[in-house]
Amino acid sequence: MLIDIDLSNIQEAINPHFYPLLKDKNRYLVTYGGAGSGKSYFIAQKILIRIFVGMETNIQHKVLCLRKTQPACRKSIFALFQGLLEDWGLKHDEFVRINRSDMSFTFRNGSQILCAGLDDPEKLKSIYGITGVWLEEANEITLEDFRQVNLRLRGQFKSYKQIAVSFNPISKMLWLYDEFFEHKKKNATVNHSTYLNNEFLIKNDPEYIAELESYKEIDQTYYNIYTLGEWGQLLEGIYSNYEYIDDFPEDKFFHDVTYGLDVGFNAPSALMFVGEHDEEFYLKELLYEPKLTHTQLIQELGSLIPLKYRRERLIYVDSAEPELIKELNQTGFIAKKSDKSVKDGINYIKRQKLYVDKASVNLCKELPAYSYRKDNNGNVLEEPIKINDHLMDAFRYPMFTHWGKIRPQASLIFV
């Protein structure tokens, strides 16, 4: 099958705010701002368009696209490129070969897009001849990560070399602020955007826009960062008593295992695995998915919780979902309502040692950002910000209800 690329109407597929950046040739293209602005989508579009143009001008590209971890890269960058190719009708073997295990795209002229996590240094060492780089969610990586990647972009090439950087400006303490804002580079283009610059979002997703605007009533800091895209200073996370682990233990390692389920619809439903070993806890994300009905959610749990454990391990469910708890028990699970005491639950968890599965992408994103609210005078309240906390609730339910609550002690009565 011969596939011809027609770029004559490409302007219609790109948000006008970003369209001029298609021709930007600076070494650094820094896109930052609020959630839903379309900055990551545009970077992916630009990379593909450069490859398409290269097919017509006999130029091969090899673009390295990175997140902090390999699982995060698979769920974001790799999935985004697959979606774009499908939307543009270009997901054909004759045009591009997609290697899902290596997360790579090889085009018919030899150009490549290589998706990887910075937690896989051996794979990165084997990649050479890079002509472009994309650092997505660059606030997750370190300055040393950036410098090492920057050194890889070298050598003679028929076209310009560029590192695209995209992120939310959560704190001026990030290396990004010093690198590109405090000390401006002559060879860097810096672009700010918010959801107001995303015409496709404005036309098609008013519900998401309402969610972003609701942050103003929840927490001003979150609103400034994720809605307005302004530099902020997130508070220190509620939990600091955890460490990430590469290899999550097998089931036989644990003395006791429970599950925690936080239920949403527009917001994600979140399922957590919580394992206890020698009074230390191991946390793993099993589900993080919006738009699930009760029937679909029960089906998901059926695929995630092995049959042999369904009558052995408790699922602690959001107590505001009595009907779901009833349906789960009727379906063969053991579901119980959770104690939703937020303050007591947090205080209990803060006294424990937590080991967090590094492959749990959304958990690793929620955990460090889970912070206390501030009042209008800047005073810290003992109340967490109710944004992006679905997995935080999901592991608090079993930890506090199953292990943390003070249970009545046996007593002797003399008569």
Each residue of 146-196: pLDDT tens digit? 999 999 888 888 899 999 999 999 888 889 999 999 999 999 999 999 999
Identify whether residues 341 and 278 lie together within a single domain: yes
Does residue 233 lie within any of the structural domains? Answer: no
Last-in-domain residue among 227, 261, 284: 227
Does residue 89 lie within any of the structural domains? Answer: yes
Does residue 409 lie within any of the structural domains? Answer: no
The three-class DSSP label of residue 189 is strand
Identify whether residues 259 and 360 lie together within a single domain: yes
State pLDDT tens for residues 302-347.
999 999 999 999 999 998 999 999 999 999 999 999 999 999 999 9
pLDDT at residue 408, rounded to an integer: 40
Does residue 236 lie within any of the structural domains? Answer: no
Look up the CATH number of the domain holding residue 104: 3.40.50.300
Q: Count the domains in the chain.
A: 2
56/334 Cα distance (integer angstroms): 60
Identify whether residues 34 and 165 lie together within a single domain: yes
pLDDT at residue 4, rounded to an integer: 65
* Nearest in space to 249 (alpha carbons), one of 357, 354, 349, 353: 357
Identify whether residues 186 and 51 lie together within a single domain: yes
365/371 Cα distance (integer angstroms): 12
Which residues in the chain come in under a pLDDT of 70?
Answer: 1-4, 234-236, 406-415
Identify whether residues 249 and 141 lie together within a single domain: no
Last-in-domain residue among 181, 202, 227: 227
Last-in-domain residue among 227, 256, 290: 227
pLDDT at residue 69, rounded to an integer: 87
Does residue 3 lie within any of the structural domains? Answer: no
Does residue 197 lie within any of the structural domains? Answer: yes
91/77 Cα distance (integer angstroms): 16
Does residue 5 lie within any of the structural domains? Answer: no
Identify whether residues 269 and 191 lie together within a single domain: no
Torsion of CA 205, 75, 358, 289, to 10 degrees: 50
Domain limits at 68?
A: 10-219+222-227
Torsion of CA 325, 327, 333, 334, to 10 degrees: 30
pLDDT at residue 410, rounded to an integer: 38
Does residue 2 lie within any of the structural domains? Answer: no
Identify whether residues 129 and 194 lie together within a single domain: yes
**Is-contact 38 31, C-beta < 8 A?**
no
Strands (E), 48-186: 62-67, 96-99, 104-107, 112-117, 132-136, 162-167
pLDDT at residue 2, rounded to an integer: 53
Using CA atoms, how far residue 220 sits from 23, 172, 376, in Å, is 36, 16, 9
Identify whether residues 284 and 356 lie together within a single domain: yes
Q: Residue 355: count other Cβ atoms within 10 Å of its Cβ.
A: 18
pLDDT at residue 257, rounded to an integer: 96
Q: Residue 368: count other Cβ atoms within 10 Å of its Cβ.
A: 16
